[in-house]
Structure 1
Amino acid sequence: MQITINPELSLRTIELEDAHAVFSLTDASRAYLREWLPWLDFTKEIADTTAYIEGCIKGHEAKSSLSLVIIFRSEIVGVAGFNTINHSNKIAAIGYWLSEGAQGHGIMSQTVLALLQYAFEDLQLNKVEIRAAVGNAKSRAIPERLGFTKEGTIRAAEWLYDHYVDHVAYGMLASEWKQMKEK
C-alpha cells in the first residue's frame, strides 16, 4: 500500500527490504528517540528490526495493525501507522516516530491526516486514538493541532526504562472528521 501525500512526502507499507534503512535511522536517532520510546534497548542490530518488520507484516496480513514507513524527499525518515485496529469496535490507535533530523517540516501532521483519511474513509472506522506521554510535548502537539479531543490521562500507562509515564489519551470520531473536512 502507498499513500502519496505530496510530491515530497509519502507513506508505504513497511517491507523486509526496509530493515537496514529503518535500523540505521533508529541507530542514528537512538538518544533522541529513547527519551519517549521504550523499545530502543531491544533494537541493537538489524536482526531486531527485521523481527519487528516480520511482526508488522503479520499484523497487516491479519488486518490487526498497519505499519508504514514515512518517506520524505526519497528517504525513510520514520514509521507511522495503526498499532492496533479493532474491527469489531471500529477503533484504531495511531503510533508514530520521526527522526530528529526530519523534524520541523510538518511531516507528522501531514502523516496523521493521511492516516485519519484512510481510517475513516477506507477502513470505515468510527474512532481513532492517539496516546502520548504527558511530558512528550512534540508528540502531544500532533493530536492537539489536528483537532482531537483530549479524553483523559492514563496513569502509569507505560514503563519507560526505569520509570512509569502517564499517557494523555486523545480521540477523534468519524463524525468529527467529517465536520472538520467540511470546514
Structure 2
Amino acid sequence: MPLQNPPGPAELAIPPLALRPWRDDDAQALHEAIRESLDSVGRWLQWCHVNYDLDAARQRIAACKQGWDAGGQYAFAVFDATGRLAGGVGLNQLDERNMRGNLGYWMRTSVNGRGYAAHAARAVAVFGFETLGLQRIEIVAATGNLASQRCAERIGARREGIARSRVLMHGQSEDAVVYGLVPTDLDQPAAAQNAAMSS
C-alpha cells in the first residue's frame, strides 16, 4: 500500500556521493551502467539482463518517477564525486499499515569495493525513517549474494533468518537471508561508518 502524502523530490548529499530521484535524461547513463554490470548485477536482479537496451532504461526511469509521485516507491540514482552514475538505491514494497518498507541497492561493476552501496543505503534508510516515518526496513538478499549481505550488516541491519524460496532468480525460486533494520540500529559509531566507506 503506498504511503499517503508522498514527499516531493529529495536530494541527499553524502560526500563523496550525491543521491537524487531518477530523471529522464539519466537513461543513457543507466543503460551504460547496466551493460557494464551484467555479470555482477545481472546475477541477482532479474531486470538486469543481456537484452537491456536504452528503451528498457527509459521505461525503468518512468516507473521510478511514477512510483515516487504515487508514494509507492522511492528510487534514488547515485552519483560519485565526478558526477558519474554509480548505481541505484531505493525503498519499495511499502506497507503503510505497519510502516514498513524494503531497501534495495545495486552498484555498477567499476565502483565495487569502494563502500558506495553501504554509504548510499544508509542514507536512504535514514530518509525512510526520518522523512517517510517508517518503523522497520527489510533487506532481502539471496543466500548466495554475499556482497548484498555484507552491505546490510555494515549499515547495522540484523540478520533475522533465512526465508525459503523467498526470491525468484531468473525463473528459479531461491532461499534468501532476511535482515531487519529499525531506527536505533543506525546509531552506530562513526568509525564503523567510515570503515564501510574504506572497505
- TM-score above 0.5: yes
Superposition TM-score, scaled by structure 1 size: 0.91
Identity %: 25
The answer to whether the aligner puts 1:14 opposite 2:44 as a matched pair is no
1:125 to 134, 140, 164: 134
RMSD over aligned CA atoms reads: 2.0
Q: Deviations over 1:94-151 (max 9, x none)?
A: 1111011101111111111111211112222100111101011111001112221212
Displacement after TM superposition at 1:181 (Å): 7.2
Q: Is the 8 A contact 2:117 2:151 kept in 1?
A: yes
1:79 to 85, 88, 106: 88
Provide the C-alpha distance between the structure 2 equivalents of 1:126 and 1:33, rounded to a whole number of angstroms: 29
Counterpart for residue 31 of structure 1 = 39
Residues 181 and 118 of structure 1: CA distance in aligned 2, closer, same or farther (over 3 Å): farther
The answer to whether the aligner puts 1:168 opposite 2:171 as a matched pair is no
Residues 29 and 181 of structure 1: CA distance in aligned 2, closer, same or farther (over 3 Å): same
The answer to whether the aligner puts 1:67 opposite 2:112 as a matched pair is no
Pairing of 1:39-58 with structure 2 (within 5 A): 39-41=47-49, 44-58=52-66
Provide the C-alpha distance between the structure 1 equivalents of 2:151 and 2:57, rounded to a whole number of angstroms: 26
Superposition TM-score, scaled by structure 2 size: 0.84
Provide the C-alpha distance between the structure 2 equivalents of 1:148 and 1:69, rounded to a whole number of angstroms: 22
The answer to whether the aligner puts 1:153 opposite 2:162 as a matched pair is yes
Higher relative contact order (CA 8 A, sep 6+): 2
Provide the C-alpha distance between the structure 2 equivalents of 1:59 and 1:118, rounded to a whole number of angstroms: 16
The answer to whether the aligner puts 1:136 opposite 2:110 as a matched pair is no
Displacement after TM superposition at 1:87 (Å): 2.3
Displacement after TM superposition at 1:27 (Å): 0.9
Provide the C-alpha distance between the structure 1 equivalents of 2:190 and 2:19, rounded to a whole number of angstroms: 25
Q: Deviations over 1:146-174 (max 9, x none)?
A: 22121221111222225322111101122
Residues 82 and 42 of structure 1: CA distance in aligned 2, closer, same or farther (over 3 Å): farther
Displacement after TM superposition at 1:182 (Å): 10
Counterpart for residue 91 of structure 1 = 100
Q: Deviations over 1:80-99 (max 9, x none)?
A: 11123222211111111101
Q: Which amino acid counterpart does residue 27 of structure 2 have in structure 1?
A: A
Runs (5+) with no aligned partner, structure 2: 1-9, 192-199
* Aligned length, in residue pairs: 181
Considering fraction of residues, name the structure with more strand: 1
**The residue matched to 2:40 in structure 1 has which SS?**
helix
**The residue matched to 1:31 in structure 2 has which SS?**
coil
